[in-house]
Amino acid sequence: MKVLCVVGARPNFMKIAPIIDELKQRGIDYVLVHTGQHYDEKMSQFFFVDLGMPKPHVDLEVGSGSHARQTGEVLMRIEPVLERERPDVVIVVGDVNSTLAATLAAAKLGIPVAHVEAGLRSFDRAMPEEINRLMTDSVADFLFTTEELASEHLRREGIADEKIFFVGNTMIDSLMKHVQRADESSILQQLGVEARNYGVVTLHRPSNVDEPESLRGILEALSTIARDLPLVFPIHPRTRKRISEFGLDALLSQGFILSEPLGYLDFLKLNKDARIVLTDSGGIQEETTVLGVPCITLRHNTERPITVTAGTNQLVGSDKHQILAAAAKVLGGQAEKKQVPPLWDGKAAGRIVDILQRMV
207 neighbors 240 (Cβ within 8 angstroms): no
Report which of 287, 297, 277, 131 is spatially closest to residue 208, judged by C-alpha positions.
Answer: 297
Helix (H, G, I), strand (E, B) or coil at 193: coil
Which residue numbers are catalytic? Answer: 204
Number of H helices, E strands in the chain: 16, 13
Angle at the Cα of 30 (from 26 to 32), degrees rounded to 5? 130
Helix (H, G, I), strand (E, B) or coil at 300: coil
Provide the angle, in degrees to the nearest 10, between the axes of the packed helices 41-50 and 264-272: 70
Could you tell me the sign of the dihedral formed by the alpha carbons of 226, 229, 230, 236, in that order? Answer: negative
Category of 65 on φ-ψ map: left (φ > 0), alpha (ψ -120 to 50) or beta: left
HSE-CB for 184 with a 13 A CA cutoff: 4
In what side-by-side order are the strands of the sheet with 2-7?
A: 58-59, 29-34, 2-7, 89-93, 113-116, 142-145, 164-166
Question: What distance lies between CA 116 and its chain's CA centroid?
Answer: 12
276-279 β-sheet, strand order: 256-259, 231-234, 199-202, 276-279, 295-297, 313-315
What is the full DSSP assignment across 79-109?
Answer: HHHHHHH--SEEEEESSSHHHHHHHHHHHHT
Q: CB of 123 within 8 A of CB of 301?
A: yes
Which amino acid, residue 184? E
CA separation for the pair 265, 46 (Å, rounded): 9
